[in-house]
Structure 1
Amino acid sequence: MSTFSALTPRFTWRGALRSAAHLALPRRSDYTELPSSWRKDLVAGVTVGIVALPLALGFGVASGVGATAGLITAIVAGFVAAVFGGSHFQVSGPTGAMTVVLVPVVARYGAESVYALAILAGVLVILMGLTGMGRLLSVIPWPVIEGFTLGIGVIIFLQQVPLALDTAKPDGENAAVVALDTLRVTYWDRALTPLVVTVGVIALMLVLTRIRRSLPASLIAVAAATVVVELVDLDIARIGALPAALPSPSVPAFDASALATMFPSAMAIAVLAALESLISARIADGMVEGVGHTHANRELVGQGLANAASGLFGGMPATGALARTAVNVRAGARTRAAAASHALVLVLVVLVATPVVALIPMSALAGVLIVTALRMIDLGTARSILRATRSDAAVYLVTVGVTIVFDLIVAVQVGVAVAAFLSLRAMSRVSGLRRAPLELDAAEEDALLDEHIAVYRFHGALFFGATKQFLDEIATVRDVHVIVLVLTEVRVMDTSGANALQEIVRDLQRRGITVLLKGLDADQLRMASSVGVLQSLGTKDHYFHDLRAAVAHARNHVRHELGGLWSLECARPRVG
């Protein structure tokens, strides 16, 4: 058996299933604190359920799938993610970010497609968790996260324009274009009443929040608007009839060709579900001390199961909801039983209160979502990023712009790409090659030898962004017989950098200059060997771990190469 085979773990289906079960199955340790915390968890669950009700209805309506789908999603996805997810505090359900993605999907494929997309996206998120992609968040720069959060807030605000004006939503996928079209076709004499209701809900929510942050401002404002609209008998759009029980699970109808067409949308939904859930869980971890932190891969598996279950029950895709998760933590939750009980509170609403919920004005929900959007627009954070560096400001502004003009996933991709480009440019600027003195005690004879030896130190990252600079600088070297390349300060080296190193060695040796290398770490040495750098040296004796040994070898090489000329040089009297 080869060394590689001996070191590589064998894949077995039993091992894969054991790993999947470890990520997917609930654990006794999830509820260690429940005997002492169940009262706090129950209070937190009721509090979050009250907050979640108008948001679930509003996001369902705003996405184009309907209030019923939003409520089902909050119940089913909220419960499944709480039981199977990797966070003790995460509350999942329909969110504004997911609404932003779903609006163009509904416009393109119809509302019925959302159920199949939720299942497909759920499967993709499960695969992300099983393949260890829980570290996805670590590669997303902060300006990108904040940029697409601001973009989401702007889009959610724009999406509420048709609801706030009680105007049929014009065709279109871009929220800004649809909002402008809405203003153009609105009958303003009829739109004034719903607009007053929307503004009233916004004002009441802001006042209640100032009085006491723990008050369920959205529910109180929506209830007040509903009562006023009923008493005055205003002719404005309502939510309408809702089911008095949860539907039975069923596989939505779809065909393979339609599913293939919708796969890019499913992938976008899956990436967003993973990203937003991990962000929310990480922030929740930072709000609580002394409680185990989120297991990222298990969280992805739980969110994937939640999305698949939501689709089976006629719901929409879901993610971890930061606002509801924060309410859960502040209300005293200690275990995942709190998030699970919030779903049961919503089940109770479906069973006993749907006739009342059906009377809620659509414009009141628009007011709730506008306040939600305004809270996502953090001007303090924006100022901090814009004042930081020009690179961070550019990444932030590009992400915001692309989010509004195109969509979230494109915005994340473009933002990460711009951030990567600017980071690589900065890295290449601080990487470089410099000639250094030998800095070794030398006899007079060795000092004469040293005139034919050059020591160059490379510092920074030897990667594709810095290879041209490396090649250009070394190409100017003349009038030496040996070059010692000291690479101790190379922090990063990729295959492009290793290949550039090979080109340098070959070019110098073609010009009659011997190259000695010193200082690669074990991983870099393996890469250099695989690319052919060590072979280009001609002998393994030209790679050193010690600079003194490299210089001594270089002196011997010069002495041997100069031969008789060297004896004459040594015999010549020195002046001074």
Structure 2
Amino acid sequence: MNMQSFFSIGRLVPRTFEIGKAFPYSRESFAKDLVSGFTVGIVALPLAMAFSIAAGASPAQGLYTAILAGFFISFLGGSRYQIGGPTGAFVVIIFGVISRHGMEGLVLATILAGLMLIAMGLSGLGRLIKFIPYPVTTGFTTGIGLLIFSQQVKDFLGLKIEKVSPEFFEKWAQYFEHMGTFDPLTLFVGLLTITIIILIRRFFPRIPASVVGVGFTTLICFIFSLPVETIGSRFGGIPSTLPIPTLPEFHWSTMKAVFPDAITIALLAAIESLLSAVVADGMTGDRHNANMELVAQGVGNIASALFGGIPATGAIARTATNIKSGAQSSVAGMVHAVTLLLFMLFLAPVASVIPLASLSAVLMVVAWDMSELHRFVRIIKKSPRSDMLVLLTTFVLTVVIDLTVAVEVGVVLAAFLFLRRMVETAEIKPGTPGVGAEIVYGSSPAQPHEQPKHPKDVEIYEITGPFFFGVADLLQDTLMTLEKKPRAFILRLPQVPAVDSTGIAALESFLSYCKKHGIQLYLSEVREQPMKALERSGFIEALGSQYIVSSPEQVLEMLSK
């Protein structure tokens, strides 16, 4: 395998570069992209600020992220329709990183995650990321939904708490302790926003509900001068220019401290962006380039971090909105980023009057959508117990401990359960030469269409399934069950698609045992991958090529002579 095929560089072509080549593109297509990009930009405006505030950053940082990461993810991406920016999945991670390492630590972790994403794309890992177990993704998305909801209670109720604890149970203890400080007007604004969003979704699904909800309540608060907390009162408004890009200070101790968080950011960005791209493919019939998408996600996150932004990934809801609005290419995603940039340059003062309760209401709706309780309940009720265990473990760890731990433990637990299932399906069982074979054992022919018999001093066993480290012990156990040492032992491997080093070691140990006790060992019907692996390891040379046969009948004929 040469270096180019390993790194898949030849296949890393952004979909933007295919406009007019791989698919037709006209003035009409461009007009549709303009309309769609502007629509998604309006939808993304409150979400970008809300996610950033919920994560412990400023609303301006959310806009920087949506503008810069959103542009590069669309420009370099492997999907024609992907919209990138801040998402709810990152809220919990970002909040934790800022709490532990400050904003400098978050910037460094985001840059490291971006480099990891680029490496994933270059090494062709895009397809493998899709195989994260479904119970793991459901468990942590439901957990994230609950955590996002929990983080919004303070601003939704207007509670007077100086600093909310990042710990789940301590946070709720603070809420109950300060429940007497809630503000009725703030609660009214939040409830009104949720009500408008629900009604718009129900009766006017084509209209961006969150934009209408935030816009209407902002107008009400401004006209009647309602004394509720706003973006301006807490953050002092939004800058009307992009900041100058700066590199963070690279200290080995800081890099070491944020490295686990960077892994989580990279893994989550890869999972969510590729899931979003798959959803887009399902809605359009298109096919995305997973590896190119990961490279674009990496570049987008690095660009966001250099300008003081937060982590970004593909946003499923905004991508779906983009498609429904008539997007034809990645130009729509770039228009979405430019729309947000123009808002920041010319309408930044407008954002300062947006009530925080309205943004909290939007995030509560997002939390409900993310939780996907129907899927969570379905796995618990109808899936195998092992899947339920993975789901609940990931969910509990996400809520109680940390999302980083939850994803790592969930994936490892799912892998162990998968191995257990593989071991359960694999077996070593007594075999037969074949059904309906006419074989002569001595002078007696076996009758056609009957179960063939073989001499008592010849044992035939068959392995089914991949012969890997989880199955290797079964071969050793097989010999222990034999009451009498046979003259020959035929091991059939027609249903073994692959063998690993532990399986080879088990065969080597088995061969040594057979030689010690004068047993002739034959391997029958060896498939391509196991044969190559056995040849490379030197096992075939140790066994002798004459003991590799095409069928048990061949051995029985030789032994009968």
**What is the TM-score when the length of structure 1 is the normalising length?**
0.88
Q: Which moved more, 1:379-388 or 1:237-246?
A: 379-388
Q: Separation in 2 of the partners of 1:299 and 1:217?
A: 29
The 1:462–1:112 alpha-carbon spacing in structure 2 relative to 1, beyond 3 Å, is closer
| Contact map agreement 1:148 1:411 (CA 8 A) in 2 | yes
Q: Separation in 2 of the partners of 1:64 and 1:192?
A: 24
Q: Separation in 1 of the partners of 2:125 and 2:245?
A: 29
Secondary structure at the counterpart of residue 498 of structure 2:
strand
Report the aligned-residue RMSD.
2.5
Using the TM superposition, give the Cα deviation of residue 22 of structure 1 relative to its aligned residue in structure 2, in angstroms: 6.6
Partner residue of 2:227? 235
The 1:273–1:18 alpha-carbon spacing in structure 2 relative to 1, beyond 3 Å, is closer
Secondary structure at the counterpart of residue 360 of structure 1:
coil
1:552 equivalent to 2:549? Answer no
1:244 equivalent to 2:258? Answer no
Secondary structure at the counterpart of residue 244 of structure 2:
coil
Q: Which moved more, 1:84-93 or 1:123-132?
A: 123-132
Could you list the per-position Cα deviations for residues 7-41 of structure 1 after superposition, in whole angstroms to 9, with x for gaps in the alignment?
A: x53x5xxx699975973767531355432311221
TM alignment of 1:168-183, pairs within 5 A:
168=161, 170=163, 172-174=165-167, 176-183=168-175
Q: Separation in 2 of the partners of 1:354 and 1:379?
A: 37
Partner residue of 2:449? none
Q: Which moved more, 1:491-500 or 1:297-306?
A: 491-500
Partner residue of 1:76? 68
Using the TM superposition, give the Cα deviation of residue 475 of structure 1 relative to its aligned residue in structure 2, in angstroms: 2.3
Secondary structure at the counterpart of residue 183 of structure 2:
helix
Partner residue of 2:518? 512
Q: Separation in 1 of the partners of 2:443 and 2:312?
A: 73
| Contact map agreement 1:107 1:172 (CA 8 A) in 2 | no
Partner residue of 1:470? 475
| Contact map agreement 2:240 2:345 (CA 8 A) in 1 | yes
Partner residue of 1:421? 416
TM alignment of 1:84-103, pairs within 5 A:
84-103=76-95
| Contact map agreement 1:161 1:182 (CA 8 A) in 2 | no
| Contact map agreement 1:87 1:295 (CA 8 A) in 2 | yes
| Contact map agreement 2:497 2:530 (CA 8 A) in 1 | no
Partner residue of 1:319? 313
Using the TM superposition, give the Cα deviation of residue 352 of structure 1 relative to its aligned residue in structure 2, in angstroms: 2.4
Secondary structure at the counterpart of residue 110 of structure 1:
helix
* Counterpart residue type for residue 510 of structure 1: K
- Percent identity over the alignment is 36
The 1:178–1:343 alpha-carbon spacing in structure 2 relative to 1, beyond 3 Å, is farther
The 1:264–1:412 alpha-carbon spacing in structure 2 relative to 1, beyond 3 Å, is closer
1:524 equivalent to 2:540? Answer no
Q: Separation in 2 of the partners of 1:318 and 1:222?
A: 23
Secondary structure at the counterpart of residue 139 of structure 1:
coil
Partner residue of 2:201? 209
| Contact map agreement 2:7 2:122 (CA 8 A) in 1 | no
Q: Find the partner of 1:480 among 481, 486, 491.
A: 486
Using the TM superposition, give the Cα deviation of residue 306 of structure 1 relative to its aligned residue in structure 2, in angstroms: 0.8
Q: Separation in 2 of the partners of 1:451 and 1:154?
A: 65
* Counterpart residue type for residue 315 of structure 1: G
Could you list the per-position Cα deviations for residues 255-290 of structure 1 after superposition, in whole angstroms to 9, with x for gaps in the alignment?
A: 44323332222222222222211111111111112x
Q: Separation in 2 of the partners of 1:436 and 1:532?
A: 27
Q: Find the partner of 2:438 among 433, 436, 441.
A: 441
Q: Separation in 2 of the partners of 1:469 and 1:542?
A: 22
Using the TM superposition, give the Cα deviation of residue 222 of structure 1 relative to its aligned residue in structure 2, in angstroms: 0.9
Partner residue of 2:450? none
1:259 equivalent to 2:264? Answer no
Q: Separation in 2 of the partners of 1:319 and 1:444?
A: 68
| Contact map agreement 1:502 1:532 (CA 8 A) in 2 | no
Using the TM superposition, give the Cα deviation of residue 509 of structure 1 relative to its aligned residue in structure 2, in angstroms: 2.8
Q: Find the partner of 1:345 among 323, 339, 342.
A: 339
Q: Separation in 1 of the partners of 2:396 and 2:277?
A: 26
Partner residue of 1:275? 271
Q: Find the partner of 1:29 among 2, 5, 18.
A: 18
The 1:258–1:422 alpha-carbon spacing in structure 2 relative to 1, beyond 3 Å, is closer
Partner residue of 1:197? 189
* Counterpart residue type for residue 475 of structure 1: M
Q: Which runs of 5+ in 1 are unaligned?
A: 1-7, 557-576
Q: Which moved more, 1:361-370 or 1:480-489?
A: 480-489
Q: Which moved more, 1:180-189 or 1:25-34?
A: 25-34
Using the TM superposition, give the Cα deviation of residue 548 of structure 1 relative to its aligned residue in structure 2, in angstroms: 2.4
Q: Separation in 1 of the partners of 2:138 and 2:262?
A: 24
Partner residue of 2:392? 397
* Counterpart residue type for residue 433 of structure 1: I
Q: Separation in 2 of the partners of 1:83 and 1:338?
A: 10
Using the TM superposition, give the Cα deviation of residue 137 of structure 1 relative to its aligned residue in structure 2, in angstroms: 2.0
TM alignment of 1:143-154, pairs within 5 A:
143-154=135-146
Q: Find the partner of 2:404 among 394, 409, 415.
A: 409
Structure with bigger gyration radius: 1
Q: Separation in 1 of the partners of 2:347 and 2:116?
A: 35
Q: Which moved more, 1:518-527 or 1:362-371?
A: 518-527
Partner residue of 1:46? 38
* Counterpart residue type for residue 54 of structure 1: P
Q: Find the partner of 1:459 among 451, 455, 464.
A: 464
Q: Find the partner of 2:507 among 494, 501, 515.
A: 501
TM alignment of 1:356-367, pairs within 5 A:
356-367=350-361
**What is the TM-score when the length of structure 2 is the normalising length?**
0.90
Q: Matched residue pairs, number?
A: 541
Using the TM superposition, give the Cα deviation of residue 187 of structure 1 relative to its aligned residue in structure 2, in angstroms: 5.3
1:62 equivalent to 2:54? Answer yes
Could you list the per-position Cα deviations for residues 35-67 of structure 1 after superposition, in whole angstroms to 9, with x for gaps in the alignment?
A: 231122112112111111110010110111110
Q: Separation in 1 of the partners of 2:195 and 2:58?
A: 26
* Counterpart residue type for residue 257 of structure 2: T
* Counterpart residue type for residue 490 of structure 1: V
Q: Separation in 2 of the partners of 1:187 and 1:401?
A: 26
Using the TM superposition, give the Cα deviation of residue 419 of structure 1 relative to its aligned residue in structure 2, in angstroms: 1.8
Using the TM superposition, give the Cα deviation of residue 463 of structure 1 relative to its aligned residue in structure 2, in angstroms: 1.7
Q: Which moved more, 1:475-484 or 1:83-92?
A: 475-484
Q: Separation in 2 of the partners of 1:59 and 1:286?
A: 27
| Contact map agreement 2:118 2:297 (CA 8 A) in 1 | yes
| Contact map agreement 1:24 1:302 (CA 8 A) in 2 | no
The 1:180–1:270 alpha-carbon spacing in structure 2 relative to 1, beyond 3 Å, is same
Could you list the per-position Cα deviations for residues 312-334 of structure 1 after superposition, in whole angstroms to 9, with x for gaps in the alignment?
A: 22211111111111111111111
Q: Separation in 2 of the partners of 1:145 and 1:184?
A: 31
Q: Which runs of 5+ in 2 are unaligned?
A: 445-452
